Amino acid sequence: QVQLVESGGGLVQAGGSLRLSCAASGRTFTSYIMGWFRQAPGKEREFVSAISWGGGRTNYADSVKDRFTISRDDAKNTVYLQLNSLQPEDTAVYYCAARRLTIVQDPAGWPFWGQGTQVTVSS
């Protein structure tokens, strides 16, 4: 079991940046793959990015590649998502998630979720 708590969301103008954090509880954080998803109003939850245990492998949705960066600090049990060059279409609730074994982009494959943090980008 792992509990996840996101922070760092907010309101930002187009072109701006934010850094989201996800703090995980539990002694086995290093064995989990960590991911970020987002859900805009009226839309399905979608994959944003994921990072393997140890940080050796990352994966990004095409829509955020080259703008967002995922990282993890296993000593702090925390995963981060740096959001740069934000656009209004990035507005959504951003969720942190955890799973074992391999990176998958289907939200249904992630058993552990945080409560989400709102990111709003104004034009």
**10-46 pLDDT tens trace:** 999 999 999 999 999 976 878 899 999 999 999 999 9
> The tokens of 29 are what?
């954080």
> The tokens of 42 are what?
């009226």
Per-residue pLDDT tens over the stretch 63-76: 999 999 999 998 99
